[in-house]
Chains A and B, each alone.
Chain A
């Protein structure tokens, strides 16, 4: 939930940033997008009415509506947008029960694709759409939108979760450089601690930030194959690969001087507060979270690219981790209009129109990072493209939400307990496995 809200603010701020920086580019994409659309569109869907539901509001909604407008201009369809609010399930559930679903819905978690597909609320995507997906996405993403081999959804918007944000003045003061490996990170952390600044601000009260940290370390140390297996609970959490990852995390969570406020302080720090601790109260030097930290950093008074900088999550093993979160488009009515819209959103064309607007990252491999409006997003896009097949989706969002998405339960709770007592790797593994067994049964 908080992720969503943060993303919404991110988009809003990104608009502001872009508007200050290079105002022309924000208006240009619409013009250039609609130009070929009006010229080349054959208006096959003239008179068709479509409804699309997504959680976005504010600036994010406006941007998405621009993409929808490009689609409408191209096909002649009339598209209306409905906002589901933060709780997509609560909005869609009754509409599905009442046999009145929107034509297309954008789901914030792949887990919901599974859930709705089992309820037979989703329509399999047509051959044309599947072809579009094959052309633009790696097989991993296709599988992510599929249930039992049938393609139902496509990831159309991504959040980059493999970043370490830092305060450049703290790094300069201590004379350390952004780390590229885990050992370097630990060494820099020691130097920072020696200089009198706590190296890490952990957002322990927000369980999802701990799962993100674990996922990055695990993807890096255990590799994508194991990551996939663990995501589906095909290997148990008692696996040695989990032990390795937890031990790596203990290297930073286990030292009192490494964590701002110690572990008890960190456990009371929720997500935006831990960013403030880095950029506003300057208690710590680094915070490990996704691209949407930018919003909070700006609100804490730091300037992006100057005081607030980031580096890719360092390699803790053989893989440079890129973990994404994101939103999946699904068709809830089997109509040509709904299929055409999903196809458009999955296409290079649709992706590039969106990419020119602020606050958007595309998982589409054919959307060139050059389309992004600012340097920061361009670099993020580049890391996604260059990671290629090794990119993975946020594991906790793939899990049943009782395990990976509930306050005080499942993985969130166990990792918080681990932060409280980082020496107990074995007990943490056992607890994770016990919770996983309950959730996956």
Chain B
């Protein structure tokens, strides 16, 4: 901008002196003579400059000034607030998260945008496809956050992500048995939990039924065909697995009371010296019997497979996966934007270059890598840099998707800035320091983008 202003200022002088243009460098100068006089230019620039000054320059200057003071705004702390940013563990987490964002999100968005753009050139319903991919841009980030909060819900009945995972998982292996049930433990109990299963503490003896009391059976996994528990009669190694809990209380622990139900379908193993000697399955009244077992000393075991919980999917909103999960939402929103920009660039690529390559025998992959991508690189860079700026500023998605218990783990600089300044802490000094820190991070990319636009203009 300044260059042009200079140009305009110079040109009338040059004109007045009547100096002829000396070289090609002066040609633009000559052209600007057609423009308005500097006073008129300043007059027209004034409103914009004034607004920019009030809304952009002044806040930035004030933030820099404010960042040098403490929370109340009266005590000068110098660069103390900036030191806090780099010494506080919580803040370092936010910086680390921002780094992850900047490295991962723009690459994924640009790559996906490129893939979509190239593919839509080839398919029949390209416009419809583009419309659908672009659709999330019409949704506000806040609404997108709400949507993905639901998608990532841990309960597969509510969360789409886990619903998909559990459905896929269950088609290969389905759960069975009594998840989360456990033996009634204690000194009087004959059994103990071991390796996720249940074993008798003493070797079982033939003729004396083994009692295996189980508690904590969820009401919804209790089979409807279960009948009142009974100890089997007769010789041989036998016993009962039952739900040792009398509804409404009462009942003796470790003993089969009248109303307590057996647990049908349990796999029971007789183990000798670490080897499974025989296997049985409990009947509807919970009883089991090993037939034709050689006499000897056996430990009775309920293997872990009886207690395996059904696969519940991933904890998307837990501390470990939260940042990747939010990046997923971000990609969903921005991939369409990247696709549209890249598709526009793609349309501008000279077709003859592509055709020439194809005629010369290049494969599609070679055409893509050696011709399309290099020709597209200016557009790709614009998209990439825009995404970097967007990821640095990311706020709403993190704020909404991360449950408050994992917000410290998902935190990013923009959110931390808001929280520190207004969310209870009320430390606007530190908040301003964070804002300036963010500005410094964004600045190089802004300059890069502006430079590029300028170069394209000229």
> Which A residues are within 8 Å of any B CB, using their own CB?
172-176, 191, 193-197, 204-207, 257, 261, 264-265, 267-268, 270, 401-402, 405-409, 412-413, 416
Residue contact A408 to B248, C-beta cutoff 8 Å: no
B364-407 residues at the A interface, CB under 8 angstroms: 403-407
27 contacts between A and B (CB under 8 A): A172-B248, A173-B248, A174-B245, A176-B249, A193-B216, A194-B215, A194-B216, A195-B215, A195-B247, A196-B218, A196-B219, A196-B222, A196-B245, A204-B405, A205-B403, A207-B405, A257-B216, A261-B154, A268-B318, A402-B426, A405-B424, A406-B419, A408-B407, A408-B411, A409-B419, A409-B424, A409-B425
**Which residues of A lie under 8 Å from residue B423 when comparing CB positions?**
406-407
Residue contact A264 to B249, C-beta cutoff 8 Å: no
Contact of B406 among A195, A265, A267, A402 (CB under 8 A): A267
- Among A173, A195, A270, A406, the most chain B Cβ lie within 10 Å of the Cβ of A195
Residue contact A401 to B425, C-beta cutoff 8 Å: yes
Residue contact A264 to B318, C-beta cutoff 8 Å: yes
Contact of B182 among A191, A207, A257, A412 (CB under 8 A): A257
Residue contact B425 to A267, C-beta cutoff 8 Å: no
**Which residues of B lie under 8 Å from residue A405 when comparing CB positions?**
424
Residue contact B248 to A175, C-beta cutoff 8 Å: yes
- Among B181, B244, B247, B424, the most chain A Cβ lie within 10 Å of the Cβ of B424
Alpha-carbon distance between A406 and B416 when the two chains are bound, in angstroms? 12
- Classify chain B: how many residues form its interface, as a range: 35 or more
**Which residues of B lie under 8 Å from residue A412 when comparing CB positions?**
404
**Which residues of B lie under 8 Å from residue A196 when comparing CB positions?**
181, 215-219, 222, 245
**Which residues of A lie under 8 Å from residue B217 when comparing CB positions?**
196
10 smallest CB-CB distances across A and B, nearest first, come from: A175-B249, A406-B424, A408-B407, A401-B424, A194-B215, A402-B425, A407-B404, A267-B405, A205-B403, A408-B408
Residue of B nearest to A204 (CB): B405
Alpha-carbon distance between A174 and B245 when the two chains are bound, in angstroms? 8
Tell me the minimal C-beta distance from B418 to chain A in angstroms: 11
Residue contact A197 to B219, C-beta cutoff 8 Å: yes
B26 at the interface (CB under 8 A from A): no
**Which residues of B lie under 8 Å from residue A174 when comparing CB positions?**
245, 247-249
Tell me the minimal C-beta distance from B120 to chain A in angstroms: 38
Residue of B nearest to A266 (CB): B405
- Among B218, B406, B407, B419, the most chain A Cβ lie within 10 Å of the Cβ of B407
Tell me the minimal C-beta distance from B73 to chain A in angstroms: 12
- Among B249, B411, B426, B427, the most chain A Cβ lie within 10 Å of the Cβ of B249
Alpha-carbon distance between A160 and B95 when the two chains are bound, in angstroms? 41
Tell me the minimal C-beta distance from B410 to chain A in angstroms: 9
Residue contact B406 to A191, C-beta cutoff 8 Å: no
Alpha-carbon distance between A175 and B251 when the two chains are bound, in angstroms? 10
Residue contact B250 to A175, C-beta cutoff 8 Å: yes
Tell me the minimal C-beta distance from A395 to chain B in angstroms: 16
B363 at the interface (CB under 8 A from A): no
**Which residues of A lie under 8 Å from residue B246 when comparing CB positions?**
175
A sample of 7 more A-B contacts (CB under 8 A), given A175-B248, A205-B405, is A194-B184, A195-B245, A196-B181, A207-B405, A257-B182, A405-B424, A407-B419
Alpha-carbon distance between A401 and B182 when the two chains are bound, in angstroms? 43
**Which residues of B lie under 8 Å from residue A197 when comparing CB positions?**
218-219
Contact of B403 among A172, A191, A270 (CB under 8 A): A270
Tell me the minimal C-beta distance from A187 to chain B in angstroms: 12
Residue contact B249 to A191, C-beta cutoff 8 Å: yes
Residue of A nearest to B427 (CB): A402
- Among B222, B246, B248, the most chain A Cβ lie within 10 Å of the Cβ of B248
- Among A173, A191, A405, A408, the most chain B Cβ lie within 10 Å of the Cβ of A408
Alpha-carbon distance between A172 and B90 when the two chains are bound, in angstroms? 46
Alpha-carbon distance between A408 and B427 when the two chains are bound, in angstroms? 16
Tell me the minimal C-beta distance from B74 to chain A in angstroms: 12
Alpha-carbon distance between A207 and B405 when the two chains are bound, in angstroms? 7
Residue of A nearest to B153 (CB): A268
Alpha-carbon distance between A267 and B217 when the two chains are bound, in angstroms? 24
Contact of A265 among B154, B219, B250, B425 (CB under 8 A): B154
Residue of A nearest to B217 (CB): A196
Alpha-carbon distance between A352 and B406 when the two chains are bound, in angstroms? 44
Residue contact A205 to B250, C-beta cutoff 8 Å: no
Residue of A nearest to B410 (CB): A408
**Which residues of B lie under 8 Å from residue A257 when comparing CB positions?**
180, 182, 216
B114-153 residues at the A interface, CB under 8 angstroms: none
Tell me the minimal C-beta distance from A42 to chain B in angstroms: 44
Say whether, besides A196-B217, A407-B423, A268 and B245 are in contact (CB < 8 Å): no
B201-228 residues at the A interface, CB under 8 angstroms: 215-219, 222
Alpha-carbon distance between A204 and B405 when the two chains are bound, in angstroms? 7
B317 at the interface (CB under 8 A from A): yes
**Which residues of B lie under 8 Å from residue A205 when comparing CB positions?**
403-405
Residue of B nearest to A413 (CB): B408
Tell me the minimal C-beta distance from A407 to chain B in angstroms: 4
**Which residues of B lie under 8 Å from residue A267 when comparing CB positions?**
318, 403, 405-406
- Among B403, B405, B426, the most chain A Cβ lie within 10 Å of the Cβ of B405
- Among B222, B404, B423, B427, the most chain A Cβ lie within 10 Å of the Cβ of B404
**Which residues of A lie under 8 Å from residue B408 when comparing CB positions?**
408-409, 413
**Which residues of B lie under 8 Å from residue A406 when comparing CB positions?**
419, 423-425
- Among A172, A204, A268, A270, the most chain B Cβ lie within 10 Å of the Cβ of A268
**Which residues of A lie under 8 Å from residue B218 when comparing CB positions?**
196-197
**Which residues of B lie under 8 Å from residue A407 when comparing CB positions?**
404, 407, 419, 423
Alpha-carbon distance between A401 and B427 when the two chains are bound, in angstroms? 11
**Which residues of A lie under 8 Å from residue B250 when comparing CB positions?**
175
Residue contact A402 to B424, C-beta cutoff 8 Å: yes
**Which residues of A lie under 8 Å from residue B215 when comparing CB positions?**
193-196
Alpha-carbon distance between A412 and B403 when the two chains are bound, in angstroms? 13
**Which residues of A lie under 8 Å from residue B315 when comparing CB positions?**
264, 268
Tell me the minimal C-beta distance from A211 to chain B in angstroms: 13
Alpha-carbon distance between A281 and B246 when the two chains are bound, in angstroms? 23
Residue contact A268 to B180, C-beta cutoff 8 Å: no
**Which residues of B lie under 8 Å from residue A173 when comparing CB positions?**
247-248
Contact of B404 among A194, A265, A270 (CB under 8 A): A270
Alpha-carbon distance between A174 and B219 when the two chains are bound, in angstroms? 12
**Which residues of B lie under 8 Å from residue A175 when comparing CB positions?**
246-250
**Which residues of A lie under 8 Å from residue B318 when comparing CB positions?**
264, 267-268
Say whether, besides A195-B247, A264-B315, A265-B154, A408 and B216 are in contact (CB < 8 Å): no
**Which residues of A lie under 8 Å from residue B425 when comparing CB positions?**
401-402, 406, 409
Residue contact A408 to B426, C-beta cutoff 8 Å: no
